Amino acid sequence: MGQHRGESRARGISRGPLIVLGLVVVLVLGVVGWFQLRDRINDQGVAAAGACVEGESGLAVAADPDIAPQLQTLADHFMETAPVIRDQCVSVTVTAVASDTVRDALSAGPDGPWDAAALGPRPALWIPSSSHSVKQVSATGVISGEARPVATSPVVLAVRTAFANAPGTPAIDWKDLPSLQTGRNSLAALGLPGWGSLGMALPVGPGAESTEMAVEAVAAAVTGSSTGPVTEEQARSAPVTSALTGLALGYEAASSGPKPATTREALTALAEQGDPATSDIHAVAATEQQVYQALRDAPGADITTSMPKGPTPVADHPAAVLAGPSVDETQSRAAAQFAEFVRRPEQAQVLADAGFRVEGLARPDDTTLAFPGFESTLVPADAAAAAELMHVIRNPITPRTSTVLLDVSSSMGEREGTATRLANTTAALAAHVDRAPDSSNLGLWEYSTTLDGSRPYTTVVATGPLSAGGFTEGTRRQALDARLAKATPATGTSTYTSLEAAYKSAVDGYTPGLTNSVLLVTDGANDDSVARADLLAAIAAASSTSKPVRIDVVTIGENSDLNTLQALADRTGGSLEKVASSDGAALPTAISKLLS
């Protein structure tokens, strides 16, 4: 029987579709595998970062004590976000340290010494009370970039409520403070009879930056500067030094007891005094936030604020990222990130709640303190100007009556340094004249031989009040400046005759209530015919217990009359300062010491 063809094998399947299907499957599996591999790599990267594969990095922050507690709270919030920078986990520590103390340490330079025991770890971020401190860091290369504020607080006068409510208080200008501090019963003009003169505390210890800023405000107002900054030339000017001297001496006279060293101590003393009319302290320069915190710490305390007219100094608490070999890239970035974190509104509320001013955020209303607006902000002075201002506050020149007896013999024309001995001496005297208060009485005599007929001396400017007019140059201060600049060397050195005449004139013109003196500045031995014994006898005869006049002496270089001059100083209650040269700081220091 026959068979049909093909019955002996199975019907075949086409291979093409199977190949295509296989390729699709392989491609899909490849894509899926790629995404899984990519996700695994990303997960490993995240895990590596989260594990801080490069270890940990600590950000040290030095902050003014006023803001340090709030910054520590914000540091804790920041660390709750588990910050990782350059594969390093970042932790933050905040150390409270006075702004001026950090400023002084940083002024030694980015690699200068740092006392970790006293100041805490060397910081990568510094948040002082104000840009006032930042501008006073004298070293370069310490601060990286611009220091931007995190919160502000104006400097005000902390006062008792009765003082703030006096009719004349709202009209007080910064420039009025010196005259209120020195004027007899000056507070009566404000509507406070029986209060005497203003007692404005001037603490100058660490943590008293508000004093420095208030002093700048006074100086700016005295010079008529609109918003500052006060320049070094203005800081050295007679109006400024006279005003600040009055401010400082008025505070010294207000009380013979211990003075508060810091703003916090002064605020405590203000709040704890009894009757404000009989208190030693009527006002304290402080930030608004410091007063707010004082009220929080002592609810019901009788203190409030008064804001003088004129440009207002502001504690703006800038965040300054520091540079130097101790600050690495991670710390620098962490400092910048933490500062930005602090500025976020939801974080800055911590600062606003503590009494700082933060733009866009409400101010606390849990005390009686108001937060008024103010006219304008005072631009801080630079380091040199600020140092000049505080030098006057720390070393005020006491008003006195003094006649300067200046040797203009030929030897004073010898060159020492870049100028003559006489030029160096007159420059040092002029600098003191410029700093002396208006209430001082000063005069100038010059001596050599035959300067005024047969007399070896001449009265260049008669002794009297510095502020008095009637001179071709204007005031006595201006006459002294001009005539000192014109002094020229003459011939001999008739010291004994000239000193006797100057001393007798000083006794005759004695000013009660002030230190009276003759200041002799000489560079050589006497060459007239008067003997040592005769001079000592003449001075003893002219002296008066009811009109005590001291003889102070500055002798330049070698002087064979040293024993005689020392005896004169000792017998009249004066002092003798010996300097090797007129060139340098020794001579101005000696003159300032004997005329202060």
Q: Give the pLDDT score at 225.
A: 82
pLDDT at residue 400 tops 50: yes
Q: Are strands 200-201 and 283-287 parallel, antiparallel or unpaired?
A: parallel
480 in any annotated domain:
yes
523 in any annotated domain:
yes
Please write the tens of the pLDDT for every residue from 190-213: 999 999 999 999 999 888 899 999
Q: Give the pLDDT score at 133.
A: 93
Q: Please indicate, yes or no, whether residues 146 and 261 belong to a single structural domain of this protein.
A: no
25 in any annotated domain:
no
Q: Please indicate, yes or no, whether residues 185 and 305 belong to a single structural domain of this protein.
A: yes
3-state secondary structure of 201: strand
User: Into how many domains does the chain fold?
Assistant: 3
Q: Please indicate, yes or no, whether residues 121 and 175 belong to a single structural domain of this protein.
A: no
pLDDT at residue 12 tops 80: no
36 in any annotated domain:
no
16 in any annotated domain:
no
50 in any annotated domain:
no
- The partner residues of 443 in beta bridges, in order of sequence, read 403
Q: Give the pLDDT score at 318.
A: 98
CATH number, domain with residue 309:
3.40.190.10
Q: Please indicate, yes or no, whether residues 224 and 270 belong to a single structural domain of this protein.
A: yes
Q: Give the pLDDT score at 212.
A: 95
Please write the tens of the pLDDT for every residue from 516-556: 999 999 999 999 999 999 999 999 999 999 999 999 999 99
129 in any annotated domain:
yes
Q: What CA–CA distance (Å, rounded) separates 154 from 313?
A: 6
Query: Torsions phi, psi of 569, nearest 5?
Result: -65, -45
Q: Please indicate, yes or no, whether residues 139 and 163 belong to a single structural domain of this protein.
A: no
Using the CB atoms, write b or e for 98-135: b if 16+ within 10 Å. Answer: bbbbbbebbeeebeeebeeeebbebbbbbbbbbbbbbb
Q: Please indicate, yes or no, whether residues 379 and 249 belong to a single structural domain of this protein.
A: yes
Average pLDDT, the chain: 90
Domain that holds residue 494: 397-594
CATH number, domain with residue 538:
3.40.50.410
**Percentage with pLDDT > 70 across the chain:** 91
pLDDT at residue 13 tops 50: no
Q: Please indicate, yes or no, whether residues 162 and 286 belong to a single structural domain of this protein.
A: yes
pLDDT at residue 3 tops 50: no
CA–CA–CA angle 331, 334, 336 (5° rounding): 115
pLDDT mean over 20-40: 48
- Pick 227 or 74 by higher pLDDT: 74
540 in any annotated domain:
yes
pLDDT at residue 15 tops 80: no
Q: What CA–CA distance (Å, rounded) separates 332 from 216?
A: 32
Q: Give the pLDDT score at 33.
A: 52
pLDDT mean over 205-226: 92
3-state secondary structure of 284: strand
Q: Please indicate, yes or no, whether residues 368 and 322 belong to a single structural domain of this protein.
A: no
The answer to which of 46-55, 253-262, 292-301 has the lowest mean pLDDT is 46-55
- Pick 362 or 8 by higher pLDDT: 362
Q: Please indicate, yes or no, whether residues 439 and 585 belong to a single structural domain of this protein.
A: yes
Q: Please indicate, yes or no, whether residues 490 and 587 belong to a single structural domain of this protein.
A: yes
pLDDT mean over 17-32: 49
Q: Please indicate, yes or no, whether residues 170 and 302 belong to a single structural domain of this protein.
A: yes
In which band, very low, low, confident or very high, does the pLDDT at 252 lie, cut at 50, 70 and 90?
Answer: confident
Q: Give the pLDDT score at 50.
A: 52
Q: Please indicate, yes or no, whether residues 244 and 264 belong to a single structural domain of this protein.
A: yes
